[in-house]
Structure 1
Amino acid sequence: MSNLVVIAGGAAMGSSVAAHLLADPDFGGRVLVVEKDPSYRLAGSALSAASIRQQYSQAVNVRLSLHGLAFLRDPGRFLPVGEDPPALGLREGGYLYLAGTETGAGALRRNNALQRQEGAEIALLDAAALAARFPWLETGDLLLGSHGVTGEGWFDGWALLQLLRGAARRLGATFVADEVVGFRREGGRISGAVLKERGEVPCRALVDCAGSGGAALARLAGIDIPVRAKRRSVFSFSSRNPLPRCPLLIDTTGVWMRPDGEPRPEGRSFIAGWSPPAAADPDWSDDDPASREVDWELFEEVVWPALASRIPALAEIRPGRAWAGPYDMNLADHNAVIGPAPGLENFHLCNGFSGHGLQHAPGIGRGLAELIVHGRFRTLDLSALGFLRIIENRPLVEDNVI
């Protein structure tokens, strides 16, 4: 039997799986990472808003974020990063969720109990406390805010991708510019992966880290996962008015914003976006340029009005560049699908992160590596994210989706 593990997709998630596999002294195999676009021009890892939080409604996500935070603070604890690793640019500015209804405030309180139980330092602030801490914030309609005191913020997503990729290559992973287009099956196993350019290669296991193409790849193996690629537009702008201690803010409207870069004499830059309701959520396609266009009307009609209402100092801004990126949404419950596919014990799914994939890449990569090498999760128990919950219609619903 081949000792080769094929990883379809070489962005942050695929590179993390590769690096953690090869870092495990019990592995003893080879790793081939197949990436159809080595420039990562359309990869979610490169186009992400690159933020990290512990404010989730499911414990497994809090744990993955705490592991991701430890990795961002000191990646050399976990993987060989070389003598001059890229700076990950972690800024622990915090997240701030706002609630203006009793229903919203109740959800923040319930989630806060879970988050604190898992070791996250999250504070609940009433309207008066919000006004005192963030005097630039309009609080008249607010009941409660949930603020990450430490361990939440943003980082350089491109640098994380390069660090993980570099670690994998340093440990011996082979990266090829190609695409997995088929499989050879023998009973309940994948015995070979068919590459578009190189033909068939025998393999011990295959990991689907194909991002926006992950669901299509799974279908080639006869697996239907409820994951669809959606488009998210991110807008940049600058303001001359200072917003001291500005966190990543999630407004009651669902509009979010965060600082971007360091303050300059001419003002501060920010990025912002919005998570639309399901009925208005546009699809993304790597092959259709029209589906990848920035929705500029979204900024003018939704994002900026919401921000100017919540933060009067942003009534006057200077719009900047914008970009669109893929957002791999699990329509079943907004959580990732991790681990073996049904009926194919060595075909591992790694899909549908619904906006929190990049921050969880270190923990997911380590977990999948442990599953492949040892047959079980050892560092973090990710079994709650398995495909069985989809088959049995037991959704693990994540309420805090951005």
Structure 2
Amino acid sequence: MPFQSPQHKTYDVIIVGGAIMGASAAWFLSGDPDFDGRILVVERDPTYSACSTMHTNSCMRQQFSTTLNIQISQFAAAFVQNLADHIGDIPSVPQLRVHNFGYMYLANTESFAETLRANHKVQQAAGAATQLMTRDQISTAYPFYQLDDIILGSINLVDEGYWDATAVFDCLRRSGRARGVEYLHNEVVAMTKSADRARVESVTLASGDVIGCASLLNASGPRADRTARMAGISLPVEPRKRYSWVFSAAQPLDRDLPLTIDPSGVHVRENGGGTYQAGAHTAIDPAVDYDDFTMDQAFWQDHVWPILATRIPQFEAIKVTAEWAGHYAYNTFDQNAVVGAHSEVTNFYFLNGFSGHGLQQAPAMGRGAAELLVHGQYRTLDMTPFDYSRLESGKAVIEGAII
């Protein structure tokens, strides 16, 4: 598919990356009554076949250890389940819901059990419906688990589970285009800064086009550092490989399977129709090439399947029907989002580093980025704790519930 050329020579906002994070920011920006500028979204792969958006569990949770992350997911749940109320300017907006099978965290050590208890207090204070469960309570509610090593569990059955992220992504793009957002199949390959090095004045595209911008938003997922380096900025975000498998069970479970996070790190969830989706990463978890999506067949056979069959004995007889590798945009600093403007290149904005929970955070993060670009400050959720400046000061915001 050949690259396209932009319709204009300059734009008020150029968004690098058109997956769900860039699409969300563009949609909120185009809907702000105080903004009437031009928005260009540059996406290198308009099929989105390799982007993180298309490689996820498509689930949301409120079981985080920080109040802000909980609030971000709470907004996502409200946004998704009231999508037609938010996006009313395009036809065929679906009525969506969250399939509330919940996330089940299983603790097999007292230290992890104490972490779940501490997280539970934060979650309840933020209005989440998280419940702690003893081993006997888990066994009664979900008798298919083998729980000999388990001390405590944590689950939330309200606004926590599967949602149709592809439908939301499609609506954000369609509505954005209807509002005048320009989506361009091309790739940003260079940036030119002002003489004082304080602003990005233009970007060069792979097609050779050079376009000016008032502001630039980096929403390029696992390629975030590559994009930042074009402006002379270093960003601690790298692609980390995550494996997924969909399988059918010879003896399907008799009730919904929560997205179960085994103490080993392997996770598995309900997929519907007697099928399930599992995910994991290798113990050695290096950064990988941006285009490396090769599978590790031995990892499933020697590690993941045995763990699944031990935790859920009915999964001893299963058949893999699909498998893929995707990338986390992994923030090596503290596994939390990086947002806001750069301290020196003042019109370069970040929407990066979500470390595996970006899909569910896209509605709130897109809204926050738009607020910052238009108004110079957050007007709803205050995302300041995630500002780029914390990387410079060394003040990490630790999220203790990363999967």
The number of aligned residues is: 392
* 1:245-264 alignment runs, 5 A limit: 245-261=256-272, 263=273
Q: SS at the partner of 1:283?
A: coil
Partner of 1:131: 139
The range that moved more, 329-338 or 72-81, is: 72-81
State, as a whole percentage, how many aligned pairs show the same letter: 36
Q: Distance in 2 between matches of 1:299 and 1:319?
A: 10
* 1:257-296 alignment runs, 5 A limit: 257-261=268-272, 263=273, 268-277=274-283, 280-287=284-291, 291-296=292-297
Partner of 1:32: 40
Partner of 1:141: 149
Say if 1:11 and 1:165, in contact at 8 Å, map to a contact too. no
Q: CA deviation at 1:82?
A: 2.0
Q: Which runs of 5+ in 1 are unaligned?
A: none
Q: Distance in 1 between matches of 2:208 and 2:369?
A: 26
Q: CA deviation at 1:81?
A: 5.4
**Cα distance 1:38–1:88, how it changes in 2: closer, same or farther (>3 A)?**
farther
Partner of 1:313: 314
Say if 1:20 and 1:79, in contact at 8 Å, map to a contact too. no
* Aligned residue among 211, 231, 242 for 1:221: 231
Partner of 1:168: 176
Q: Distance in 1 between matches of 2:87 and 2:200?
A: 29
Partner of 2:5: none
Residue 211, structure 1, aligned to residue 215, structure 2: no
TM-score calculated relative to the size of structure 1: 0.94
Partner of 2:203: 193
Partner of 2:53: 45
Residue 233, structure 1, aligned to residue 243, structure 2: yes
Q: Distance in 1 between matches of 2:146 and 2:386?
A: 38
Partner of 2:70: 62
Say if 2:63 and 2:123, in contact at 8 Å, map to a contact too. yes
**Cα distance 1:303–1:88, how it changes in 2: closer, same or farther (>3 A)?**
farther
Q: Which runs of 5+ in 2 are unaligned?
A: 1-8
**Cα distance 1:121–1:168, how it changes in 2: closer, same or farther (>3 A)?**
same
Q: CA deviation at 1:282?
A: 4.2
Say if 1:75 and 1:81, in contact at 8 Å, map to a contact too. no
Q: Distance in 1 between matches of 2:149 and 2:24?
A: 43
Q: SS at the partner of 2:321?
A: strand
Residue 324, structure 1, aligned to residue 334, structure 2: no
Question: One-letter code of the match for 1:372?
Answer: L
Q: CA deviation at 1:157?
A: 2.7
Say if 2:21 and 2:362, in contact at 8 Å, map to a contact too. yes
The range that moved more, 86-95 or 198-207, is: 86-95
RMSD of the alignment, in Å? 1.6
**Cα distance 1:81–1:103, how it changes in 2: closer, same or farther (>3 A)?**
farther
The range that moved more, 138-147 or 189-198, is: 189-198
Q: Deviations over 1:171-196 (max 9, x none)?
A: 11001111111222123122222222
Say if 1:212 and 1:285, in contact at 8 Å, map to a contact too. no
Partner of 2:6: none
Q: Distance in 1 between matches of 2:395 and 2:333?
A: 9
Partner of 1:345: 346
Q: Distance in 1 between matches of 2:298 and 2:169?
A: 31
Say if 1:23 and 1:79, in contact at 8 Å, map to a contact too. no
Partner of 1:360: 361
Q: Distance in 2 between matches of 1:71 and 1:111?
A: 24
Say if 2:83 and 2:94, in contact at 8 Å, map to a contact too. no
Q: CA deviation at 1:198?
A: 4.8
Q: Distance in 2 between matches of 1:76 and 1:372?
A: 25
Q: CA deviation at 1:88?
A: 4.9
